[in-house]
Every structure is written in C-alpha cells, then in structure tokens.
Amino acid sequence: MAASLGGFFLPATALASSATYTVRAGDSLYAIAAKFHVTVHQLELWNHLSSDVIHPGQVLVVSQGGSQARPSSASSSSRTGASTYVVQPGDSLWSISEKFHITVSQLEAWNGLVSSSTLRPGESLRVAKPSSSPPSSSHHADTQQVSLTSRGSSPGSSNASLTQSALGFAVADYARTFLGDPYEWGANGPSAFDCSGLIQYVFAHFYIQLPRTSYAQYEVGVPVSESSLQPGDIVFFDTYGSGPSHDGIYLGNGQFINAASTSVQIDSLSDPYWADHYIGARRVIGQNG
C-alpha cells in the first residue's frame, strides 16, 4: 500500500514512522506548519511538494522520523510562559495576535511597530506585556478598530480587537493562500473559484459576509479612490461591458489578487488591460455598521 501526497507516493512504512495530518478546507501550508511547530520548508521537503498549493483530503507528513508532533494552541504557549515569538514565513501581525490571544494593537505597542510594518522571518517579537510597560497613551484612543470573533474559536471565547488596517493586511495574506487554485465559473471554493466567489470566501473567513456576485458586492461598503487603496479593499472592473462584472482583492503596491482566466492569480492595476477596465473600489473592512 502507498499513500498519495499531492501526486507523490510515499510508502506506508514511511507514514507509519511519521505523524500525518489530513488537509481540511481552508488550510494553508503556513497554518499547518504553525499548528505542528514546523516550517513551511520542512513540510515541502517531507512531502516532496513543488508549490504551496494543497487540497482538502490530502495527507501530509508533519514530522520527521516519528517525532511526536502535536497541534499547538495559544493556551499551551501561555502556560509555558513564552514572552517572545520568532516570526515564521507567511506570518502577519494578525496571525500572531490570534495565536497568542492578544490584539494587534498590543503587538504594535510592545514591539514599536505600526500596522504597515514588514515582518521578517527570524525576527523575534514580544508576545507578552513587558513588566515595565508604560500605560497606554491617549493618542491611541482614536485608532479605528473592528471587533470580530477569532476564527476557529469557541462561541464563548472573547472577541479579538483588530485595527482596520491590520485586518486588511490579514485579508490580503489569506487571499494569497489560494494563489494558483483553478478558476471555474460559478465556483465559490474551497478547491476552485470564480472572481466573486473568491472574494466572498476570503471575507467569510474573517466573519465578513458579502453578497455572491460582483455586481452585488459593488453595492456594499464605501467607495475608495484609487490613490487611497489599502490592502483588503475590493477593486472592480467592467470586463464584460458596462458594470462591475469582475473584482479582486487589493494587496498593496498596485497589485491585486483575482480569480481570472484559468486560476487565482496576482495582477497589476497598471497593466494596460486592467487599467482600461478599472471602474472603482469599495472598502468593506470596518464598515460593519
């Protein structure tokens, strides 16, 4: 017997001596790596993966040579008294705050960061309040925040308070996990998407419910000028005549991710085709009434 790992076959004896994990809908290599305290590179190496594309039902080796890998939890990290965390590839301020049940604002304050700060793998972040931490200054009081229930948490767990811009970066990061997934008209995930299906699926992950079509999505949120675009904004195009027949998620630096042609891909707003068909953008993050 042999077990299939994304097109590569591992002998059953190899699986018997290693811990395995079955991919679920919405999983990414980064999320699985964080869960089992390994790196994305190790997952790719152990499973002979040539890309970070994975699919529900796929069996992955998550430890080498039978080491007893166990899913991590923020509570277990707290019990060990961990006060610092080493940034892993794919991390964002949002994902780290969720892991340790703290807010993005706290991470920023404890580490001298702002929501647009770039995290680098190997960088050490403080994830617990410093004993000599000064009281919060009043100038933080006007920071716009949005409260959402943490993904995967129990109904009774406390809400995580996130700054609007940090949540935008988190939405953009999550959308990137579907890069390369196939395009299919009318598909809304998790294994294939059309343009508005990708938008709806990604935002639903953050408990932001959007209509199904690009035309209806164009009617929600608030309009944003092209010069004011932020990660997480939805950009719209008239690819089939008049009206918002296509949309994508803005990533920053003039780029957006969208399900188009044959797969989920990243394109540039400055590309002549997209620039010619661009009709506007909407911001739904922070517009929850």
Q: Residue-wise over 148-164: b if at least 16 C-beta within 10 A, else e?
A: eebbeeeeeeeebbbbb
Q: Are 55 and 23 in contact (CB under 8 A)?
A: yes
* Active-site entry in 41, 159, 205, 246: 246
Helix, strand, or coil (residue 222): strand
Full 3-state SS string of 38-81: CCHHHHHHHCCCCCCCCCCCCEEECCCCCCCCCCCCHHHHHHCC
Cα–Cα distance measured from residue 278 to residue 227, given in angstroms and rounded to the nearest whole number:
13
> Best-predicted range by mean pLDDT among 26-30, 50-54, 85-89, 272-276?
272-276
Is residue 246 annotated as a catalytic residue, yes or no?
yes
Q: Which of 111, 258, 277, 288 is catalytic?
A: 258
> pLDDT digit string (tens) for 119-137?
777 777 888 876 643 433 3
- Residue recorded with tokens 């042999």: 2
- State mean pLDDT over 250-278: 95
Determine which one of 37, 101, 195, 288 is catalytic. 195
Q: Decide if 55 is catalytic.
A: no
- Would you say the pTM of this structure is higher than 0.75? no
The DSSP output letter for 88 is -
Least confident of 3-17, 22-36, 39-53, 184-198: 3-17
Q: What is the pLDDT of residue 142?
A: 32
Average pLDDT estimate for 141-151 = 31
How many Cβ atoms are within 10 Å of 242's Cβ, its own excluded? 7
* Cα-Cα-Cα-Cα dihedral sign, residues 72, 73, 74, 76: negative
**CA distances from residue 289 to 1, 18, 51, 57, 171 in whole angstroms, order as listed:** 55, 49, 40, 38, 19
pLDDT averaged over the chain?
A: 75
> What percent of the chain is predicted at pLDDT more than 90?
36
Contact present, 203 and 210 (Cβ < 8 Å): yes
**Residue 163 pLDDT:** 67
d(CA 70, CA 68): 6
Q: ∠ CA 176-180-185 to the nearest 5 degrees?
A: 105
The CA distance from 249 to 217, in Å, is: 12
80-94, 98-112, 248-262: the lowest-pLDDT one: 80-94
